[in-house]
């Protein structure tokens, strides 16, 4: 395999995760959480960290504040082997933070966006773009400045000869205002989850939603949690079953780890079926440790866990 290089463009924040929570908070009341973790958060950063741990040369373009949380994000990315030359430290806005109320298989989030809202298309290192082979973007709806230029971003990346991938993530406002007809022709791999693809297309089931996107998309891989995943391109449909195990900790970042596994295999020029199967594996591995990056220390550790928990050699 050629040593392909990846540029990740997206949001950056820390996650403050509260676990073992007694009930759900109501206005005017206080409840207790018995455990807390402060971790590297954001869809884009989890993806970047975990695909770097899998061995892909990864650089990040994003915006943080000149504050302690920004230093935390910067240091955690570097510890994971992510190149930080293209991080922008904003003098005005603070680093974003997500408060995660974790309830096992599901969670509730409250996010302060901060600096991430102010990342623009001009912050992308276009004068260095020929250094990279692939561009990945995540979490469109939390980044309003770059959102208005998202189709132009992917057009420029494709014109520069890169392959591309996109994970929308959820829309906190529930509108899913994204012109997929204009943008998806320039996206090689589109990576929504089940709820997102339904919200985007207005359809009640995944199969109908996929058919809405098929004329405009090249490859769509839909994350469906324990049910596995489904992929379509212009001519075929592939389904892969999920990996079940008894070591569940939490599902924070599982979709981002799915993305990391898929794009890792895609850059290795594996078949789409192999990409989907490996993505299911890395998504499941994510759930065996706390937070989005806890299960992904380095390639050796990941390989050992895959064999021990799932009896899969990677």
The pLDDT assigned to 215 comes to 98
Neighbour count for residue 165 (Cβ, 10 Å):
24
Burial letters for 201-226: b for 16+ Cβ neighbours within 10 Å, e otherwise? bebeebeebbebbbebbbbbbbbbbe
The pLDDT assigned to 250 comes to 86
Q: Strands 96-103 and 83-90: what pairing?
A: unpaired
The pLDDT assigned to 107 comes to 86
Neighbour count for residue 127 (Cβ, 10 Å):
7
pLDDT (tens, 9 = 90+) of the chain, 314 residues, equals 468 999 999 999 999 999 999 899 999 999 999 999 999 999 999 999 999 999 999 999 999 999 999 999 999 999 999 999 999 999 999 999 999 999 877 889 999 999 999 999 999 999 999 999 999 999 999 999 999 999 999 999 999 999 999 999 999 999 999 999 999 999 999 999 999 999 999 999 999 999 999 999 999 999 999 999 999 999 999 999 999 999 999 888 999 999 999 999 999 999 999 999 999 999 999 999 988 999 999 999 999 999 999 999 99
> Going from the N-terminus, what domains does the chain have, and what CATH number goes with each?
11-310 (3.40.1190.20)
Neighbour count for residue 267 (Cβ, 10 Å):
23
């Amino acid at each position: 395999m050629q040593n392909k290089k990846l540029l990740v463009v997206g949001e950056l924040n820390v996650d403050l995760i509260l676990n073992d929570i007694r009930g759900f908070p109501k206005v005017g009341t206080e409840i207790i959480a018995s455990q807390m973790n402060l971790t590297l958060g954001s869809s884009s950063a989890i993806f970047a960290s975990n695909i770097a741990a899998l061995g892909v040369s990864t650089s990040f373009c994003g915006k943080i504040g000149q504050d302690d949380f920004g230093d935390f994000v910067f240091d955690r990315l570097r510890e994971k082997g992510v190149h930080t030359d293209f991080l922008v430290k904003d003098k005005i806005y603070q680093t974003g933070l997500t408060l995660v109320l974790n309830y096992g298989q599901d969670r509730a989030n409250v996010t302060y966006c901060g600096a991430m809202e102010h990342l623009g298309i001009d912050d992308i290192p276009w004068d260095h773009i020929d250094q990279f082979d692939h561009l990945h973007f995540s979490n469109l709806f939390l980044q309003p400045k770059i959102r208005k230029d998202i189709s132009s971003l992917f057009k420029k990346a494709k014109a520069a000869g890169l392959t591309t991938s996109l994970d929308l993530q959820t829309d906190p406002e529930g509108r899913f205002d994204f012109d997929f007809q204009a943008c998806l022709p320039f996206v090689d791999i589109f990576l929504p989850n089940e709820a997102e693809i339904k919200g985007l297309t207005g359809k009640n089931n995944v199969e109908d939603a996929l058919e809405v996107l098929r004329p405009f998309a090249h490859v769509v891989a839909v994350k469906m949690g324990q049910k596995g995943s489904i992929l379509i391109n212009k001519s075929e449909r592939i389904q892969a079953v999920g990996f079940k195990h008894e070591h569940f900790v939490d599902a924070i970042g599982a979709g981002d780890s799915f993305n990391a596994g898929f794009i890792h295999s895609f850059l290795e020029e594996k078949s789409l079926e192999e990409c989907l199967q490996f993505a299911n594996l890395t998504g499941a591995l994510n759930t065996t440790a706390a937070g989005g990056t806890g299960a992904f220390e380095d390639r050796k550790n990941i390989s050992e866990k895959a064999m021990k928990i799932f009896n899969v050699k990677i």
